[in-house]
Amino acid sequence: MKKIVVTGAAGFLGSHLTRQLLSQQHQVFGIDSLSSGLIANLQEELNHPRFEFRSLDVSKLRVDHLDHFGHIDEIYHLASPASPKFYQMNPFSTIEANTLGTQNMLELAKVHGAKLLYTSTSEAYGDPEVHPQTEQYRGNVNTWGPRACYDEAKRLGEVYCYEYYTRYAVQVKVARIFNTYSAGLRNDDGRVISNFVSQAIRGEDLTVYGDGTQTRSFCFVDDNIRGLQKMMECDQANGEIINIGNPKEYTIIEVAQIVKRLANSPSNITFHPLPIDDPKVRRPNIDKAKTILAWEPLVELEEGLIRTIEMYRNKLKAELSQKIV
């Protein structure tokens, strides 16, 4: 049994990761400021004997805050708003979680001799001029715009990881995560899959921004979590940046049509102005993940969407029944 810290534990990825770690008999200390994460995502885990949760801001966390937890083996640093809606609403806390918060977690790893995995983002590539994106691509990021608080903070978080790896030999791994989906995303999250599925099962218009020809690659959360765990366990991944995502690429209008069909929804598809700096293409090259981690995604988009739609429908039924009661 390992003692593992998960920051951003009440978020989408963090809550899925927490459940997986507990199912593997580990002891987990979850941290989340609840600025965008939902405690409801951890409802079943809160009473688990091997799980402890604290509502803390990682940018203000001190190493001694976790003294009672004992020796720490691994740290998954996921804490940060990840939806454009939320990071643009909270730019300063987004910057701080990925800079001060990352340094605090690296300091914790240094003190305990723990391994640390930092979840960076495909947004580090900005609006890419190289397609698909390899880890060597330096990106095309607008440093003066509404997305910069997230994109640049993640890039600076990577720099903190590099410095702690090279100066202090902290076992650091950086995962650049591409679009990930499943249940657990907030209904008001604003990301494409959660938007489309929530709208489709309610019979609302599916909102497409721009003309829908921009592309994304979507990874089911189970595949993503498996990739993160493989990366944490792989010594060869120390000091490496690795793309974690699904290399199959879809236009946004294709995804809207697939969700509408799978949900058997009467929804119309409507078009709205494209947000500033929205990337035109996004697709990972995962050769490095295949070589170093022996990892690649297994869940096809339609299979993942069927499961996601069913989970959202069950969630909606539960919400409606609570309102009736």
The C-alpha atoms of residue 184 and residue 144 are separated, in whole angstroms, by 31
Token output for 260: 């509408």
Nearest to 187 by CA among 320, 51, 6, 8: 320
Residue pair 51/30 in contact by the 8 Å Cβ criterion: yes
- Residues in CB range of 271: below 8 A, 6 or more apart: 208, 209, 210, 211, 212
Rounded alpha-carbon distances, angstroms, from residue 142 to 40, 76, 84, 125, 150: 35, 28, 15, 10, 11
Catalytic residue (choose from 76, 118, 125, 150): 150
Whether residue 150 lies in the annotated active site? yes
Strand 240-244 to strand 115-121: parallel, antiparallel, or no bridges (unpaired)?
unpaired
- Residues in CB range of 144: below 8 A, 6 or more apart: none
Amino acid at 283: R
Residue pair 73/4 in contact by the 8 Å Cβ criterion: yes
The C-alpha atoms of residue 246 and residue 300 are separated, in whole angstroms, by 9
Nearest to 200 by CA among 306, 60, 95, 91: 306
The residues assigned a catalytic role are: 150
